[in-house]
Structures are given as structure tokens and as C-alpha cells.
Amino acid sequence: MEIDLAFLTWKNVGIVVGTLYAIYLVNALARKLFSKAPPVWFSMVPVLGTLVSFGKNPVNFLVDGRHKYGDIFTANILGKKMTFMTHPRMHKDFFMRKDTELSPREVYKFVIPVFGRGIVYDAEPAIMSQQLKFVATGLNNKNFQAFVPLFEKEASEYFERKFGAGGEFEMFKCLAELTILTASRCLLGKEVRENINENKFAELYHTLE
């Protein structure tokens, strides 16, 4: 009696894949029926999820999601569960949550190379809260109003210095440099701003990112 080993191998693979897919569907259905979490945009495609529709047109994706699921919903995009809040009435509830319920540390891990280990979003919640207070004191409504003329001055001088009466420019590169200038002037002061070379500093900051 001869046995086709190749057939058995593919058959076993098919059984495993089919079983995993069935588990995926059952799990998705159970979450939809019994979970108290925001509704999940169901996708028949594991891992990729709703990546294609989100990538084609993110705005339409959010509008469709709101029509289907309401002001808040979760979508699986490339293996990541992403929750979208599509109406301002959800914002208060979001911002009033404690860090133990909604942690910004998970979202802002990409800034760790910029600030370093143990600083801000890499620190424990209590330490992070203390460090953020230093920033929060400078980012209030009164200071924001005072920043406007500084932004205008920095932008006018930057474009005059770079291009004079006119010309073409690479938007991403120039706005990165301008952001360094406005941020240093508003948040660090005139003395720091005057000692910053926008070209070199922007390049170094980009390297850190």
C-alpha cells in the first residue's frame, strides 16, 4: 500500500489552517456578542484585517465606521487593534480616563529614542505625570496666545532668509526646520533659539527619530 506523503502534508496543513480560521471567526463572534468593549469592525481576513480599506481612503474608512458602529469602534489593522473615536462627545470620556485605564505610554513608545530611557513615556506612570507637569505649565491658553506672533515672526524670517521674493521648496524638509525654530523660540526661549542652526539641528533630530 502506497501513501502519498505530499498529499498528507498538505492535508494536515489545510486542517491546521482551517481550524485556526474557525477559531478566529468564533472568537470574533464571541467578542461581538458578549464583550463590553467598543464594537469591532469585523473582517474575514486575519492579520491584515481592514488594512486595505483603511489604506485606500482613511477618511472614508472613519465615516463608514461611524455609520456602521457609532462614535467609537475598533478595527484590526495589520494585527494591531486600533480604536477610533469619531465624535467630539467621546473626547471628554477619553481624556478623563486614568493612565491605568488608557495608557499613552503604549502609543508614544516611538519617542523613547528621542527622550531616552526612563524619561516621560518610558517612565512609570507616577514619574511620567511629574515630568509632564513641567511641560504642561508652559502649554496653557495664555501662552498659546503669546506664541502666535512668535510663530509669525519665525516663519516670515525663515522664508525670507531661504527664498527671498519666491521660489520652490521641499515642504517636508522646510517645515521640519521651521518646527525646530518655532518650538525652540516658544518653549526654550530667545537665547536658545538664537544658537540653533535649523539645518543641522533638524538633521540631527531626524536621526534621533
pLDDT score of 27: 61
- Return the higher-pLDDT residue of 105 and 28: 105
Q: How many CB atoms lie within 10 A of CB 122?
A: 17
* DSSP-based three-state secondary structure for 42: coil
Q: Is the pLDDT of residue 3 over 50?
A: no
* Single-letter residue type at 87: H
Give the residue-averaged pLDDT of 46-67: 85
Average pLDDT of the residues of the chain:
76
**Is the pTM here over 0.85, yes or no?**
no
**Alpha-carbon torsion 82, 85, 91, 93, what sign?**
negative
Q: Is the pLDDT of residue 196 over 60?
A: yes
Distance in angstroms (rounded) separating the CA atoms of residues 18 and 184: 56
Q: Is the pLDDT of residue 43 over 80?
A: no
pLDDT score of 2: 46
Question: Does residue 182 contact residue 155 with C-beta atoms inside 8 Å?
Answer: yes
Distance in angstroms (rounded) separating the CA atoms of residues 62 and 87: 10
Distance in angstroms (rounded) separating the CA atoms of residues 178 and 174: 6
Question: 56-60, 110-114, 129-133: lowest mean pLDDT where?
Answer: 110-114
Segment 117-163, tens digit of pLDDT? 887 778 887 888 887 777 777 777 788 888 899 999 999 988 888 88
Could you tell me how far CA 188 lies from the centroid of its own chain? 25
Phi, psi of 72 (to 5 degrees): -135, 135
**Band of residue 5 on the pLDDT scale cut at 50, 70, 90:** very low
pLDDT score of 1: 43
